[in-house]
Amino acid sequence: MENPRLPFLADKAHRLPLLPGVYIMKNKAGEIIYVGKAKALKNRVSSYFRSVEKHLPKVYKMVSQVHDFDYIVTDSEFEALVLECSLIKQHAPKYNILLKDDKGYSYIKVYPKEFSRIRMALQKDDEPGATYIGPYMSSYVVRETVDEANKAFKLPTCTRKFPQEFGKGRPCLNYHIKQCMGVCLGKVSLEEYNEVLEQALDYIKGGSAQSVQKLTQRMEECAENMEFEKAAQLRDRIRAISRLAQADQKVIWAKGLPDQDVVALQRVQEETCAVVLKFRGERLVDKQDFLLGEVEELTSARLEFLLRYYNTRQEIPKRIQLDGEIEDMELTARWLTQQGGHKVELRVPQRGEQLKLVELARKNAAEKLALRNHRSGREVAALDELARLLGLDKPPAYIEAYDISNIGSATVVAGMVVFENGRPQKRLYRKFNIQTVSGTDDYASMSEVLERRFNRYLDPEQQDEAFDRLPDLILLDGGKGHVGTIAPLLAGMGIQVPVFGMVKDDKHRTRAIALSGGEISIASHRSAFTLVSNIQEEVHRYSIGYSRQKHQKNAFQLALTQCPGIGKTRAAQLFRHFKTMKAIKEASIEELAQVEGMSAPVAEKLFFFLRAED
């Protein structure tokens, strides 16, 4: 820590009162770099200048730049919260979570051509005759709305030009799955098309309820005028809109629920993303995402995000659903109530539709991070779900899994596989021959393997890419007995890594995660279940493959010892030299004689022995 003022700062913090208040960290230039609140100023501020090397990188860097700090005592924790929010809004300190919504405006564009299309546009251009609906703050809403309108009214979304390309080529897939009216066939007149287009624009401008009302009225008029074919078409459009409304229960939910925001955070390594889904009038109307950078831990980050986000918003709904707990839940709800001018509830749903909404927000955050890190949202979500299931502080980016495999007591081996960011890293896989255990004692064999692996980590002279870092999680192919054996072993070696077992059912399929004192069912957690199943299958495949290879090699070596002059030592030397039985059989007498310790007469005997066997 290159901060010569650390002793002075620690002494000053030690003399602070045990009262609620706000502390203000400043750098050498006197600029405010961080503002925080505390229930007890002395305890909170002192923690920054104690055991500095244990801080997370972001906090460590902030502390290294602190030249001095100031503080303001308040009468209550609530006053400290209000003052903290005010000071952060005023000074925008570098190390606080600062939210910048830099999204531009989006539009719905109607192209000025015959058989015009409805598209999303990020900005207005100079195309003459084009019509724009908007602007909208949320590109997400625009994209979803355009997609819904095109599906409900079966408007073409292809790149064909009409009427120039009427009858040229077969209709696309959308026509066959009844998501396009098939304009390319040339059977839809421009007048009919424009009528449907206007209905689609009414749907966009007025929403589904108003659109259905207009379409129903028009359908009844057509039926009265004996225009049954047209009435049937309108009926189909009404049904399509209704299907869209019912297609995803996460987006359209039961009437009677108040307007609400759903907030979820997702973390991958050093990057954290927060997503806010806004539900108004029983409909998802907006999505906002914010990259928060590196955060200390999700509970405090979730609270800080809420304070920053709603400190800059005039509209605060009556209910906010969260994906996890925060400190000072009642205090924060009180502050939100004051900010919004009405009672605001904070909730952490545990089941039902509200939990599905939270999962939807979390999924969106995972997709945002996946896009930045060139990964799939499924991988991000699986690691996050696994961390929550196992009670880990953060998603396990680097996972090691172990399995013991044997074919009889003579061939006992182990396999280690590595998954990084949810993906197998085969270059880091390692095989182990069991050296100190006789018989088929899986617990003792697993202990030997893990002890050897981490002795390699602790030995600075050992150079192996697979052993030079600590995993975030260790998974053992086995139950609580394996965990109860390995956890104390690692603790005795000073290795602080969470250890769990992977339990199979009678059909050798993943069933649960084992603790030293019980099991955690994972069947209902699909993302985590799939990831753990893949890891268990991979480590089993790898270890059993090595076991079979080893057993086959031992059998071949035993066969070689039937040749006069070939003992176990020479048989092993032959395999070290040629690697496979096939290569040994194809070798000439001269090539066999080149093996260490092999004489020409013995090489000749072996050459003819192998051919006599064939």
- pLDDT over 90 (residue 346): yes
All CATH 3.40.1440.10 domain ranges in the chain, comma separated: 6-91
| pLDDT higher than 80, residue 382 | yes
Tokens 């009528």, residue located: 195
User: Which option is the CATH number for 260-374: 3.30.420, 3.40.50, 1.10.10, 3.30.110?
Assistant: 3.30.420
Is the pLDDT reported for residue 103 higher than 60? no
Residue 510 main-chain phi, psi, to 5 deg? -60, 130
Residue 248: the pLDDT is 42
- Side-chain-side CA neighbours of 179 within 13 Å: the count stands at 13
Q: Mean pLDDT throughout 252-275?
A: 76
Judged by average pLDDT, the poorest of 28-42, 237-251, 476-490, 567-581 is 237-251
Please enumerate, as own/partner, the contacts of 285-293 that have beta carbons within 8 Å and a separation of 24 or more: 285/138, 285/141, 286/137, 286/138, 286/140, 286/141, 287/138, 287/140, 287/141, 287/364, 288/101, 288/103, 288/138, 289/364, 289/365, 289/368, 290/99, 290/100, 290/101, 291/368, 291/372, 292/97, 292/265, 293/58
Longest dimension (CA), the chain: 108
Query: What share of the chain in percent tops pLDDT 90?
Result: 15
Query: Tens digits of per-residue pLDDT, 420-440?
Result: 888 899 999 998 888 888 777
10-24, 134-148, 390-404, 512-526: segment of lowest average pLDDT: 134-148
Q: What percent of the chain has pLDDT over 70?
A: 87
Overall fold of domain 561-613: DNA polymerase; domain 1 (1.10.150)
Average pLDDT over residues 19-29: 91
Query: Positive or negative, the Cα torsion across 571, 577, 583, 586?
Result: negative
Helices 526-560 and 377-390 sit at what angle, rounded to 10 degrees? 90
Q: Domain 391-548, CATH 3.40.30.10 — does that match?
A: no
Which whole number is the average pLDDT over 181-208? 79
Do residues 208 and 241 lie in contact, with contact meaning Cβ atoms separated by under 8 Å? yes
> CATH 1.10.150.20 in the chain, residues?
561-613
Nearest of 587, 601, 541 to residue 405 by alpha carbon: 541
Q: What is the mean pLDDT of residues 207-217?
A: 68
Q: DSSP code of 183?
A: G
Cβ contact 344:319 at 8 Å: yes
Phi and psi dihedrals of 32, rounded to 5?
-75, 120
**Which class does domain 6-91 fall in?**
alpha beta
